Amino acid sequence: MNFEKYIIVNGLTKKDLNDFVQELANLYADTGFTKEVKIFESKIVANEFLINFSQDTGFERFKYFVNFLFYPFSSEHDSNHKVYGYRTLSQGDDINKELYGKRIQLYISENDEDGDNVYGIPKNWTESIKLGFAYGHEYVPTGKKEFDFFEKTYSRSDFSALRSIYGVVNKPKKKKAGCSLFLVMIILIGIICVI
């Protein structure tokens, strides 16, 4: 269990969370970042889960994962669940240098209208940051702080292993010529018999 880089999901059922994480793992299976996604269930808080991805998951992918778990493709209903991602930013992350070494809490803002943004509040910071995915919108200070950074102190004994999920690459199915070939042969035989 990794408490350095993880995502907390509150308010989903086990089934919905498993379905969403499987969908995410399949979507990114070819990257290796979802080779094994570990889900842990809180023993203390109902419907609270901790998710660990591959250790080498970069900041950009980590933001995608937070966003996806809030807005999964398969979800056709509104949900009141919460998703928070936690990690310490480093030089390898595509972020302003002033944030290197800072702990950041990622979340989806209640004010976000686009559905393709993640917001962050660095620890001891004065404002939230919009971390969009569109070119030119990767780092936009909001000028206000939606809430103070918060991160619970967890221990391994607070969670039990729920499941490990493995991404499956969906390969396109090859078309089989069976029926088409059979139909062409019948038509040719019919034409030959008529002649």
Which tens digits make up the pLDDT trace of 167-193?
Answer: 887 765 555 555 555 555 666 666 666
Residue among 43, 47, 83 nearest 67 (CA) = 83
User: Is 124 a domain residue?
Assistant: yes
Mean pLDDT of 137-157: 92
User: Is 58 a domain residue?
Assistant: yes
Residue 7 gets which letter from DSSP?
E
State residue 21's pLDDT score.
92
User: Is 141 a domain residue?
Assistant: yes
Query: What percent of the chain is modeled with pLDDT above 90?
Result: 54
User: Is 1 a domain residue?
Assistant: no
User: Is 31 a domain residue?
Assistant: yes
Q: How confident is the model at residue 75 (pLDDT cuts 50, 70, 90)?
A: low
- The angle formed by the CA atoms of residues 17, 15 and 48, to the nearest 5 degrees, is 50
User: Is 68 a domain residue?
Assistant: yes
Cα–Cα distance, 192 to 195 (Å, whole number): 5
Question: What is the residue range of 28's domain?
Answer: 6-194
Residue scoring higher pLDDT (86 or 92): 86
Q: How confident is the model at residue 78 (pLDDT cuts 50, 70, 90)?
A: low
- Residue 9 to residues 23, 30, 116: CA-CA distances in angstroms? 16, 24, 18
Q: What is the pTM of this model?
A: 0.82
User: Is 64 a domain residue?
Assistant: yes
The total number of structural domains that make up the chain: 1
State residue 168's pLDDT score.
84
User: Is 62 a domain residue?
Assistant: yes
Q: Is the pLDDT of residue 106 over 80?
A: yes
Q: Is the pLDDT of residue 74 over 80?
A: no
State residue 163's pLDDT score.
93
Residue 22: how many CB atoms within 10 A of its CB? 18
- Residue 151 to residues 107, 140, 141: CA-CA distances in angstroms? 12, 23, 21
- Alpha helices (runs of H) in the chain, residue ranges in sequence order: 14-27, 59-70, 178-194
